[in-house]
């Protein structure tokens, strides 16, 4: 046994842990994973985490990102836990670099630890968590409970050893000397057999503790094996309001091909309606070979303009502009003019070729050739799409193909575009998307990609995991209360909520849902309110939507009659009954209510009528609460009792685990419901509230909830 006056080995100042292991007979003893066997802390379940770290969770730059982990150790020792995060500039940094930022994590109960970090700018980040058993804190916590004088003396000497070890670790000379002094004082006090209470007070000295905490013993630190990726986007990735427009239909004169200059004249109007993204179908030269005619006729007439998605002709391909729309200078001017109105131009990227696309001649190896010497066009037997040649992603020159397709994005980024709506990404190889989005966002972190994939759930999720910033959804086909409740509950709370950002569209040039084909304004209004308040990002295909365009090409068809996809249209924007004022108001409500700027924190409310859908959203700080009620029946007034209690409203306040500093507000006895559509105000109290919506007046309430701040029953006292 060691003599009392020599420090036993376990109290020797820390040397390098791995070097400290003596030769042992059991040289085959190696912990699973290969760490030092003395590492006793455990880190598990670091969140957010998508597919075990294979894909990035998505957040927004400038906003706190909450990281949680399960950390514990054997026995009762005190654990310390730290979050490390860093910008990952090359996309594969799995170990924390020297410039990683470290943040102490706090225990939030049940062995769960929590910390926030705020990605300062758009980009890819990584984070990991490390933990260690803290001998000093463990010693200090035990000391606080000690009462026996002899125990306190022994503990003081243990503390002295810890202090000497910390002094050796200290880089600052001041800490070094302070800790050495403190260690000597503790030793002297322990030897002196004097007042144990005074010795305990010395051992619990706060200044000494602070110095000790600056030099923790992290020899036996464990680090979570994965550095998890997190993609921070700019705010528009989370909250955006899209307007889709065919530039060729914007001429003020019927029958004349619209131009970018014509679009410029529309910008103020579109911005005034409250949109912030202006999205164009493809603007490239349109193939002449196999061109489709009006209403998708197999043969085009000489005046037919063709489908913008049949990309490429002798004038050029994916980097060229259809001459009828204008020049590249016109396009640049338009991008700048839009920006001045608060509108961002989004382009449609459809990676497919018309038969006369220059690629077909220049890169025949990018296409699949049939034994009869023709190119394999798109088909789904017996259906054929002879005007579309898909790329062959299994071609030998896949590297050349990928590089060229990437350069298409880069070309338009060079022209000032930062938002791309990608056409049918689910018919192109998944590894390509993962690569190209990472490449583009590495160099241009503010780029946004919207996936137009209307396909099976796992395929849509697969695209979102691989980098698409936003995704089209099934919203267009979800109409009943049950469908909408189930779908948006999944979107807002399911695993996809970490990476799949819905962008809800009541219509698109491809989808005129049966529901809209009756042309009732109440349906158009209800569907718009649903999209605009259920989803933080939504869009309409206009002017078809605000003008209540509703005739299908034929019975059972979801295609528009005389669709702009195949012909010019001339829209009478002032047509009576148009929804422009309504859309303007809804978008204004969206802008003014942060509750509607995120997809999380959505909660459906019970109404005892299946035609009435009600839900509540609130802002991260709990200060803005919006309750929307929609009558899904366009024909009849519907009424019912909506359940909403003071406790429900109080629950929107950030909980202590969400925001440690604040306290939940006491539940109000009553509160005001201010319908931002009708400007009516109601005072509600209790748990059940009568609501009635007449679709001939308004199919929806969009209430902001105002809490009572005054003591009297006076509307002015809500805020």
d(CA 403, CA 11): 60
Q: Residue 220 CB, nearest distance to a second copy (Å)?
A: 7
Contact with a second copy (CB under 8 A) among 99, 372, 574, 713: 372
Q: Residue 373 CB, nearest distance to a second copy (Å)?
A: 4
Q: Which two tokens stand for residue 95?
A: 């170990």
The residue ranges of DSSP E strands in 462-560, in sequence order, are 470-472, 502-504, 537-541
31 binds a second copy (CB under 8 A): yes
72 binds a second copy (CB under 8 A): yes
- Which of positions 220-279 make contact with a second copy (CB under 8 A)? 220, 225-226
Neighbour count for residue 717 (Cβ, 10 Å): 14
Which residue's CB is nearer to a second copy, number 75 or number 576? 75
Contact of 309 with 571, CB cutoff 8 Å: no
Kindly state the number of chain residues that form the binding site for a second copy, as judged by CB under 8 A.
100
7 binds a second copy (CB under 8 A): yes
The residue ranges of DSSP E strands in 513-624, in sequence order, are 537-541, 602-605, 612-618
Binding mask 698-717 for a second copy (x = CB under 8 A): --------------------
Query: Distances from the Cα of 339 to the Cαs of 80, 276, 278, 331, in angstroms?
Result: 49, 9, 10, 12
Neighbour count for residue 719 (Cβ, 10 Å): 10
8 binds a second copy (CB under 8 A): yes
Contact with a second copy (CB under 8 A) among 63, 66, 78, 111: 111
Q: Residue 424 CB, nearest distance to a second copy (Å)?
A: 9
- Which of positions 32-51 make contact with a second copy (CB under 8 A)? 32-33, 35, 37-40, 42, 44-45, 49, 51
156 Cβ contact partners less than 8 Å away, ≥ 6 residues apart: 186, 187, 189, 190, 199, 200, 202, 203
Q: Residue 151 CB, nearest distance to a second copy (Å)?
A: 7
d(CA 632, CA 207): 66
402 binds a second copy (CB under 8 A): yes
d(CA 173, CA 206): 19
CA 614 to chain centre: 24
Contact of 650 with 666, CB cutoff 8 Å: yes
399 binds a second copy (CB under 8 A): yes
Which residue's CB is nearer to a second copy, number 439 or number 648? 439
DSSP 82: E
Q: Which two tokens stand for residue 616?
A: 């509540």
- Which of positions 418-477 make contact with a second copy (CB under 8 A)? 426-432, 434-435, 438, 456-459, 462
**277-280 and 240-244 strand pairing:** parallel
Query: Cα 431–433–436 angle (5° rounding)?
Result: 105
Only one residue has tokens 């068809």, namely 557
Which residue's CB is nearer to a second copy, number 246 or number 377? 377
Q: Residue 144 CB, nearest distance to a second copy (Å)?
A: 8
Q: Residue 717 CB, nearest distance to a second copy (Å)?
A: 41
Contact with a second copy (CB under 8 A) among 18, 30, 662, 678: 30
Active site residues: 423, 452
Contact of 468 with 433, CB cutoff 8 Å: yes
Which residue's CB is nearer to a second copy, number 146 or number 674? 146
373 binds a second copy (CB under 8 A): yes
Q: Residue 134 CB, nearest distance to a second copy (Å)?
A: 12
- Which of positions 73-92 make contact with a second copy (CB under 8 A)? 73-76, 91
Element (H, E) at 646: helix 646-650
Contact with a second copy (CB under 8 A) among 52, 301, 555, 666: 52
382 binds a second copy (CB under 8 A): yes
Binding mask 335-364 for a second copy (x = CB under 8 A): -----------------------------x
Stretch that binds a second copy, among 120-128, 156-164, 557-565, 658-666 (CB under 8 A): 156-164
Contact of 57 with 110, CB cutoff 8 Å: no
Largest CA distance in the chain: 109
Q: Residue 458 CB, nearest distance to a second copy (Å)?
A: 4
Q: Residue 538 CB, nearest distance to a second copy (Å)?
A: 26
Which residue's CB is nearer to a second copy, number 111 or number 510? 111
d(CA 593, CA 616): 12
Contact with a second copy (CB under 8 A) among 255, 301, 302, 371: 371
Contact with a second copy (CB under 8 A) among 145, 174, 711, 712: 145
Contact of 507 with 523, CB cutoff 8 Å: no
Contact with a second copy (CB under 8 A) among 9, 16, 663, 679: 9
Orientation angle between helical segments 260-272 and 328-340, nearest 10 degrees: 10
Helix intervals (H) in 1-77: 17-20
């Amino acid at each position: 046994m060691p003599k009392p006056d020599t420090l036993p080995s376990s109290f020797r100042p820390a040397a390098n842990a791995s070097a400290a292991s003596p030769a042992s007979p059991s040289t085959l003893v190696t912990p699973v994973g290969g760490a030092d066997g003395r590492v006793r802390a455990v880190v598990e379940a670091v969140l957010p985490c998508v597919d075990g770290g294979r894909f990035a969770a998505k957040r927004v730059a400038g906003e706190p990102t909450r990281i949680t982990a399960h950390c514990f150790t054997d026995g009762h020792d005190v654990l310390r836990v730290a979050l490390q995060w860093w910008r990952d500039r090359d996309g594969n940094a799995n170990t924390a670099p020297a410039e990683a930022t470290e943040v102490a994590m706090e225990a939030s109960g049940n062995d769960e630890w929590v910390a926030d970090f705020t990605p300062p700018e758009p980009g890819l980040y990584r984070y990991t968590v490390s933990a260690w058993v803290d001998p000093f804190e463990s010693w200090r916590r035990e000391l606080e409970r000690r009462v026996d004088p002899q125990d306190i003396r022994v503990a003081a000497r243990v503390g002295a050893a810890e202090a000497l070890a910390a002094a050796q670790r200290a880089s600052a000379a001041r800490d070094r000397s302070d800790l050495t002094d403190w260690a000597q004082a503790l030793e002297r006090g322990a030897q002196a057999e004097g007042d144990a209470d005074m010795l305990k007070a010395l051992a619990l000295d706060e200044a000494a503790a602070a110095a000790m905490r600056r030099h923790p013993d992290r020899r036996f630190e464990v680090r979570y094996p994965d550095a998890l990726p997190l993609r921070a986007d700019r705010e528009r990735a989370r909250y955006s309001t899209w307007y889709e427009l065919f530039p060729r239909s914007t001429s003020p004169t019927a029958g004349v091909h619209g131009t970018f200059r014509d679009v410029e004249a529309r910008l103020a109007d579109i911005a005034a309606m409250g949109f912030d993204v202006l999205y164009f179908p493809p603007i490239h030269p349109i193939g002449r070979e196999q061109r489709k005619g009006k209403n998708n006729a197999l043969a085009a007439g000489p005046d037919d303009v063709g489908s913008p998605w049949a990309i490429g002709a002798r004038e050029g391909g994916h980097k060229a502009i259809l001459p009828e729309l204008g020049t590249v200078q016109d396009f640049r001017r338009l991008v700048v003019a839009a920006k001045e109105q608060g509108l961002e131009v989004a382009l449609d990227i459809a990676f497919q070729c018309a038969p006369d696309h220059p690629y077909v001649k220049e890169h025949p190896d990018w296409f699949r050739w049939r034994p009869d010497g023709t190119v394999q066009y798109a088909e789904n037997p017996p259906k054929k799409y002879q005007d579309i040649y898909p790329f062959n992603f299994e071609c030998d020159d896949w590297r050349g193909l990928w590089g060229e397709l990437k350069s298409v994005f880069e070309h338009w980024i060079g022209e000032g575009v930062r938002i791309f709506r990608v056409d049918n990404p689910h018919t192109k190889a998944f590894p390509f998307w993962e690569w190209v989005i990472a490449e583009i966002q590495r160099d241009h972190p503010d780029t946004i990609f919207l996936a137009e994939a209307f396909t099976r759930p796992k395929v849509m999720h697969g695209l979102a995991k691989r980098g698409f910033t936003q995704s089209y959804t099934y919203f267009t086909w979800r109409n009943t209360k049950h469908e909408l409740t189930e779908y948006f509950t999944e979107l807002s709370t399911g695993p996809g909520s970490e990476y799949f950002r819905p962008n809800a569209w009541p219509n698109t040039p491809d989808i005129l849902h049966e529901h809209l084909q009756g042309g009732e304004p109440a349906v158009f209004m209800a569907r718009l309110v649903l999209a605009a308040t259920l989803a933080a990002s939504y869009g309409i295909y206009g002017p078809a939507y605000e003008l209540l365009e509703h005739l299908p090409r034929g019975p059972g068809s979801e295609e528009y009659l005389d669709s702009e996809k195949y012909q010019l249209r001339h829209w009478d924007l002032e047509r009576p009954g148009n929804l422009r004022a309504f859309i303007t108001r809804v978008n204004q409500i969206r802008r003014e209510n942060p509750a509607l700027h995120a997809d999380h924190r959505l909660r459906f409310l019970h109404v005892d009528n299946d035609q009435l859908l009600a839900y509540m959203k609130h802002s991260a700080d709990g200060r803005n609460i919006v309750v929307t009620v929609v009558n899904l029946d366009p024909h009849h007034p519907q009424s019912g009792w909506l359940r909403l209690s003071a406790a429900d409203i109080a629950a929107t306040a950030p909980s202590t685990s969400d925001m440690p500093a604040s306290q939940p507000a006491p539940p109000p006895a009553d509160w005001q419901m201010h319908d931002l559509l009708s400007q009516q105000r109601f005072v509600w109290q209790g748990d059940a509230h009568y609501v009635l919506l007449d679709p001939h007046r308004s199919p929806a309430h969009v209430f902001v909830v105002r809490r009572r701040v005054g003591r009297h029953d006076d509307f002015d006292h809500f805020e």
